[in-house]
Chains A and B, each alone.
Chain A
Amino acid sequence: MYKYRVSKNSGAGSWVVQRITGLALVVFMIGHYILMHYQPESGHTYEAVLARMQFSWYRIIDLSFLVLGMYHGLNGVWNIFRDYKMRPWARISVLSGIILFGLAFVAWGFVIIFSIPYLS
């Protein structure tokens, strides 16, 4: 019926999500900068990190920031690739590479955060 196969995915969903995650990241980033850099010690000593990580909600915020940032960043990278004409095998390789890379680094982030002990 059709001469060319056309993707059913217009990209509109990911476009909206990219804007929403971007705005959320601006909010997270302001908090991150105030918390981490207003006093150099707060972001750069083990003691300060350990003290913060006693609060589970802080770990949750940190990991949400990581997941949002990774999604927004890698979706951005994928959007750059989408600007170019790619053969199907190249598309699949690039996309799966991006997803695997992102998942690996997010997993590493989770391992790092949960390696910090709770002092009870």
Chain B
Amino acid sequence: METDTGSQNTHRKPKAFDQKNWISENLNYKKDSGNWAWIFHRITGIALIAYLFLHIYSLSPLTEGEVAFNNKMATFSSPIYMAIEWFLFAFVIFHSLNGIRIVLVDWADGAKYHRHLYRLSWIVGIILFLAMGAIMFSHELKNLF
């Protein structure tokens, strides 16, 4: 049987996965855009489902009528909550744009241009994020200038 020698040996045996240090193994592998997209899609997805539960809970004062609901909403119109909502929008927009990217990869030959799509989703996402900030804080921005 012949053995691989020198320059022909392009396929190195992959390092075995170290189960005991699974956290560092997951943090340290070399990541391409698709790996990052997968990681961010998971993080934003978990955050969004958690927010959906929170959203139902925070709207529950609707059952108690006008005063209870308006009191609850008053807390959410403070600048801190508005900033949190702005970042919530960032999570929504990443998950949406990357979700569209996933659908294109699966159904529209997107595997050929998935890196461009990933970059595009960041560019579009950041533009939409800034636009949303301008809309949300238009009152504050007017006072500033």
A, B from the same assembly: yes
Q: Are the C-beta atoms of A77 and B99 separated by less than 8 Å?
A: no
Residues of chain B within 8 A (CB-CB) of A118 are none
A29 interface contact, C-beta 8 A: yes
* B100 in contact (CB, < 8 A): yes
Q: Does B70 contact A (CB under 8 A)?
A: yes
Do residues A73 and B103 form an inter-chain contact, with CB atoms below 8 A?
no
Which of A19, A69, A109 is in CB contact (< 8 Å) with B107? A19
Pair B103/A19 contact, Cβ less than 8 Å: yes
Chain B residues with a Cβ closer than 8 Å to the other chain, count: 30
How far apart are the CA atoms of A22 and B49 in the complex, in Å? 13
Q: Does B69 lie within 8 Å of A49, measured CB to CB?
A: yes
Closest chain-A Cβ to B120's Cβ sits at a distance in Å of 16
With A19-B107, A116-B62 in contact, do A45 and B45 touch (Cβ < 8 Å)? Answer: no
A residues in contact with B4, CB < 8 Å: none
- The closest CB in chain B to the CB of A111 belongs to B63
Against A, the Cβ 8 Å flags (1 = close, 0 = not) of B68-84 are 01100100110000000
- With contacts A19-B106, A112-B59 taken as known, whether A44 is within 8 angstroms of B49 at the C-beta atoms is no
Residues of chain A at the chain B interface (Cβ within 8 Å): 19, 22-23, 25-26, 29, 33, 37-38, 40, 44-47, 49-50, 66, 69-70, 73-74, 76-77, 80, 105, 108-109, 111-113, 115-116
Further 15 A-B residue pairs, CB within 8 A, beyond A19-B103, A29-B96, A45-B70: A22-B99, A26-B100, A40-B77, A46-B65, A46-B69, A47-B66, A49-B62, A50-B66, A66-B56, A73-B52, A77-B45, A77-B49, A108-B60, A111-B63, A115-B62
